[in-house]
Amino acid sequence: ESTAVVIVGAGPAGLTLGNLLLRAGVECVVLERRSRAHVEERQRAGVLDHAGARIFEEWGLADGVLAGVPGDGGLEIRVDGEPRYLDFAELSGGRTGRLIPQQMLVRRLMGAFEEGGGDLRFDAGEVALHGLDGDGPWVSYRDGGGVVREIGCAYVAGCDGHHGVSRASVPAGALTTYSHDHGIGWLTVLADVPPPRRPLMAVASEGFAAHFPRGPMASRFYLQCAPEEGVGDWGEERIWAQLRSRLGDAGLPAGRITEMSVVEMRSFVVDPMRFGRLFLVGDAAHIVTPMGGKGMNLAIGDADVLARALRAAVREGDGEGVAAYSAVCLRRVWNYQEFSRWLTEMTHDAGDVRVAGEFRRQLARARLERLFSSGAAARAFADLVAGG
Ligand code: FAD
């Protein structure tokens, strides 16, 4: 069997790429290791930025994928319990994002892909990539029935996340990796609690906390913790007490906790995002901390750049976009790594004095204050939130 592009992984990167290639008239097969049910239920990100929403609009997918999805109008930053607001619609000239839980976006992308005749295969075990540095790569896997299959192709898109097989298939030394540990811990809790009126971040002396919407009846919370702390160090009572105190929200109801984990506050980038005929897309090539909400958006942005490049290569024999893929994506990746790091540092240094000491705490507070006293600083922030 053969196709033009084998896409490994059906997360936001793989499903966006699959849909765009379908629209571009480029044949592809998507191989996903997990079951359909697992992929449909995996809750992670919650904000599609303006640049991400534009991609779906430009490719004619917005009507199906973004129908009924509310806009991301702004952000509240509560400093020691005092509310401060940033109105992104006003600050960015209307370039607002959308509040869509990741699993809803994934489900809709799966629906659009399959309705359009896309070939999406779940439960693909033992995926292996072959001949990546030659002209005719192929991908093997074991299907749900235990049969080993091979698909020949012109290109492979590694959209299989940070722990996938794609990056691991590149010979040692071919890629340069950059990683950074931000030196803080984050506990995240998904709970059946009504969402806040607008996304909320809180800077407090006990540490950073955040309350974000995840659909009409669910919320995602983040709590800064010591880097060595684990889920076992946080009982429910402590979680709700700390959230109420840091968020300055004494009336916050304690809802059923549906998921709880420690987030690795780590950044990672590979350069180049390509080896031979393999292209790394989304988390397979880079991870950014959840701070700033850019991980899913970078994945969608990479998929857009790659879809355009593959359309030109496969349909017109024009390899320019394919050659430029990595450099084009890495410019944006580093810009948003910096945004995420800047926001992390400001909101954490400004809170718990043990994080960075009193001098840096005052600097971080001055930086934070500038967002509310300088229109230019606020607009620069809103511009990065909008993406591009
Ligand atoms: P993934 O979503 O990881 O998808 C990879 C897919 O490949 C998976 O379906 C996996 O099962 C499959 N796969 C893996 N290995 C194989 C294999 N060997 N063979 C076949 N298939 C394989 N981002 C934001 O933009 N905003 C946020 O607010 C945000 N919040 C987050 C909160 C949390 C708690 C977490 C964990 C992440 C958050 N992110 C956020 C990041 C975002 O979820 C990721 O950046 C995004 O999922 C990346 O998409 P992806 O398609 O590249 O990778």
| Owner of token pair 């009409």 | 216
Phi, psi of 286 (to 5 degrees): -160, 145
Residues in a beta bridge with 268 = 179, 287
Secondary structure class of 201 (helix, strand, coil): strand
Secondary structure class of 255 (helix, strand, coil): coil
Confidence at residue 388, expressed as pLDDT on a 0 to 100 scale: 84
Given pLDDT bands bounded at 50, 70 and 90, which one contains residue 375? very high
Q: Is the pLDDT of residue 216 over 90?
A: no
Q: What's the gap in Å between 17 CA and the centre of ligand 1?
A: 14
Confidence at residue 224, expressed as pLDDT on a 0 to 100 scale: 97
Q: DSSP code of 35?
A: -
Q: Is the pLDDT of residue 285 over 90?
A: yes
From atom 19 of ligand 1, which residue's Cα is the shortest distance away?
33
Atom of ligand 1 nearest to the CA of 31: 20
Confidence at residue 325, expressed as pLDDT on a 0 to 100 scale: 98
Q: What's the gap in Å between 40 CA and the centre of ligand 1?
A: 12
Count the alpha carbons within 13 Å of 173 in the hemisphere toward its beta carbon.
0
Domains of the chain and CATH, by start? 5-72+96-180+266-341 (3.50.50.60), 182-264+344-386 (3.30.9.10)
Mean pLDDT of the chain: 96
Confidence at residue 43, expressed as pLDDT on a 0 to 100 scale: 84
Instruction: Kindly report the pTM of this predicted structure.
Output: 0.95
194-208: per-residue pLDDT in tens? 999 889 999 999 999
Site residues for ligand 1, CB cut-off 6 Å: 8-14, 31-34, 39, 44-47, 102, 124, 127, 159-161, 164-165, 188, 263, 282-283, 290, 293-297, 299
Amino acid at 272: P
Mean pLDDT computed over 14-29: 98
301-357: per-residue pLDDT in tens? 999 999 999 999 999 999 999 999 999 999 999 999 999 999 999 999 999 999 899
Atom of ligand 1 nearest to the CA of 166: 18
Q: What's the gap in Å between 226 CA and the centre of ligand 1?
A: 25
Atom of ligand 1 nearest to the CA of 283: 52
Q: Which helix (H) or strand (E) element contains residue 334?
A: helix 320-349
Confidence at residue 214, expressed as pLDDT on a 0 to 100 scale: 86
Confidence at residue 215, expressed as pLDDT on a 0 to 100 scale: 82
CA distance 363 to 347: 11
